[in-house]
Amino acid sequence: MEKDKICNLRFADDTTLIVASQEELVALLSILEQHNAAYGLGINYNKTKIESTIIIEK
């Protein structure tokens, strides 16, 4: 059985990003913003929630 890495889950207008570090989160958000912009969409950071098992610096 081949194992695939899941890096994001999407439900309707919600997206869950799964990363191992703050750097990966920043990179994945950048990619997501680029893809969203291609469709005239954006990320509402006022509604964005971050859950982490590590400390993320602001």
Residue 29, class by beta-carbon neighbours within 10 Å (0-12 exposed, 13-18 middle, 19+ buried)?
Answer: middle
CB of 34 closer than 8 Å to CB of 28: no
Residue 31 lies in a domain: yes
Q: pLDDT at position 9, please?
A: 66
How far apart are alpha carbons 33 and 55 in whole angstroms? Answer: 23
How much is the pLDDT for 33? 92
Phi-psi region of 14 (alpha: psi -120 to 50; beta: other; left: phi over 0): beta
pLDDT in the model for residue 8 = 67
When divided into structural domains, the chain yields a total of 1
Domain that holds residue 11: 7-39
Query: pTM of the entire structure?
Result: 0.67
Helix, strand or coil, per DSSP, at residue 26 = helix
Residue 28: inside a domain: yes
Q: Is residue 1, in this structure, part of any structural domain at all?
A: no
Residue 27 CB contacts under 8 Å (≥ 6 apart), including other chains: none
Q: Is residue 13 part of a domain?
A: yes
pLDDT in tens, 3-47: 777 676 666 678 888 888 889 989 999 999 998 899 888 888 898
> What's the confidence (pLDDT) of residue 7?
72
Asked, for residue 52, whether it belongs to a domain, the answer is no
Q: 29 lies in a domain?
A: yes
* Residue 21 covered by a domain: yes
Domain-embedded: residue 49 = no
Report the pLDDT value the prediction gives residue 19, as an integer from 0 to 100.
87
